[in-house]
């Protein structure tokens, strides 16, 4: 609960009040208990998303607020998701602009059947409207982007039942898929870029959905995000990287490589043969450590894994079964070629699906 509330942008006092109400204890008791939890999350680097979130009282990213309390909407472009053309209009276009740049390979012109997703900002939060129906309302920037991601995911994979969403990269080779969850800075995008240049096919490196049907991997078709620390490593593989525009997202400099040329985008893949949590550490020898279901679940939670809404006991049971049945590993590495070999050896040891 503490972690989820942090992601929504709530402060320590607000979280302690919510915990106190939920468990019937005093706010003083709750504040005493959550202090070490917040400190532990910060030490583990799992508090970053909360810092990225902006509570609605912070108007530094606000558009021009109209007299009725809603902000004026700017045009963010039209994109193809699945068979649909979605025109996105948003009052916080400067916030959403960098995020939407990851879909520039999906940019299209308006045409017959173009539908509009509106993200409007008012004094009470963000409102998502589609087909003139309010489909969601949230109070923070981080939550708004999360809801947009889930909306676009459903457009990309219509008539699909989702089990869970996870901040992860995913690739496949032949009939074997690999899910690589992790927060920002774990090296998953750099590793993904290297794998793609060595025979793997791209699924995604931002958000992956797990389908209810046989735990299929369902990607959101983003460009590959390469942070500044990896430019020199991947430029020999992706020569266009040096010529791409640079974005500053949450204080990080990055460039978006379009999913074409060295690799293609798969619309979906089967259940992963393995879950691998990449952990780049300079100067260490490559090692692969097997993880049990409990440790896997903890790490998936750290990678923002969450059941699709509405969460139900049946979905939770399916997700637990997915975690129990899928082999999981931590891959610690400092050299990309050795990480590639470790992954190839790991997949070779898994039964073919």
Digit-coded pLDDT (tens) for 258-297:
876 555 678 889 999 999 999 999 899 999 999 999 999 9
Distance CA 81, CA 149 (A): 11
Rounded to 5 degrees, what are φ and ψ at 183? -80, 175
pLDDT score at 200: 93
pLDDT score at 353: 59
Q: For the whole model, what pTM was predicted?
A: 0.77
- Length of the chain, please? 353
Q: Contact at 8 Å (CB) between 50 and 9?
A: yes
Sign of CA dihedral 247, 153, 83, 269: positive
pLDDT score at 125: 85
Say which DSSP state 55 is in: B
Distance CA 166, CA 115 (A): 27
pLDDT score at 116: 95
Q: Contact at 8 Å (CB) between 206 and 265?
A: no
pLDDT score at 97: 77
pLDDT score at 43: 66
pLDDT score at 250: 61
pLDDT score at 47: 55
pLDDT tens across 231-268, in order?
999 999 999 999 999 887 766 788 999 876 555 678 88
Rounded to 5 degrees, what are φ and ψ at 71? -85, 155
Within 10 angstroms of residue 87's Cβ, the number of other Cβ atoms is 17
Which residues of the chain are modeled with pLDDT < 50?
48-70
- Helices 188-196 and 336-348: crossing angle, nearest 10°? 70
Within 10 angstroms of residue 38's Cβ, the number of other Cβ atoms is 17
pLDDT score at 264: 60
pLDDT score at 210: 96
Distance CA 269, CA 177 (A): 7
């Amino acid at each position: 609960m503490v972690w989820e509330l942090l992601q929504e942008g709530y402060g320590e006092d607000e979280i302690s009040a919510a915990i106190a109400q939920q468990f019937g204890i005093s706010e003083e008791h709750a504040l005493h208990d959550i202090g070490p939890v917040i400190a532990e999350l910060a030490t583990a680097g799992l508090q970053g998303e909360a810092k990225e979130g902006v509570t609605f009282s912070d108007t530094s990213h606000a558009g021009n607020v109209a007299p009725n309390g809603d902000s004026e909407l700017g045009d963010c472009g039209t994109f193809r998701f699945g068979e649909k053309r979605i025109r996105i209009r948003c009052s916080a276009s400067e916030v959403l602009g960098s995020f939407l740049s990851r879909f520039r390979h999906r940019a299209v012109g308006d045409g017959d059947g173009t539908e509009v997703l509106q993200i409007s900002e008012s004094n009470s939060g963000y409102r998502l409207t589609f087909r003139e129906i309010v489909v969601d309302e949230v109070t923070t920037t981080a939550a708004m982007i999360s809801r947009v991601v889930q909306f676009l995911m459903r457009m990309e994979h219509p008539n699909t039942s989702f089990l869970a969403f996870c901040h992860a990269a995913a690739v496949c080779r032949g009939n074997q898929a690999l899910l690589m969850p992790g927060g920002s800075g774990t090296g998953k995008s750099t590793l993904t870029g290297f794998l793609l240049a060595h025979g793997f096919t791209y699924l995604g490196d931002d958000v992956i959905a797990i389908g209810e049907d046989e735990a299929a991997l369902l990607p959101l078709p983003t460009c590959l995000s390469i942070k500044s620390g990896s430019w020199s490593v991947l430029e020999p593989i992706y020569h266009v990287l040096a010529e791409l525009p640079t974005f500053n997202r949450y204080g990080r400099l990055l460039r978006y490589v379009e999913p074409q040329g060295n690799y293609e985008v798969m619309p979906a893949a089967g259940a992963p043969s393995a879950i691998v949590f990449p952990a780049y550490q300079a100067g260490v020898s490559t090692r692969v450590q097997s993880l049990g279901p409990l440790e896997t679940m903890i790490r998936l939670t750290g990678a923002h894994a969450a059941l699709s809404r509405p969460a139900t006991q049946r979905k939770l049971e399916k997700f637990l079964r997915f975690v129990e049945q899928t082999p999981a590993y931590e891959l610690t590495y400092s050299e990309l070629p050795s990480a590639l070999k470790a992954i190839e050896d790991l997949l070779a040891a898994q039964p073919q699906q």
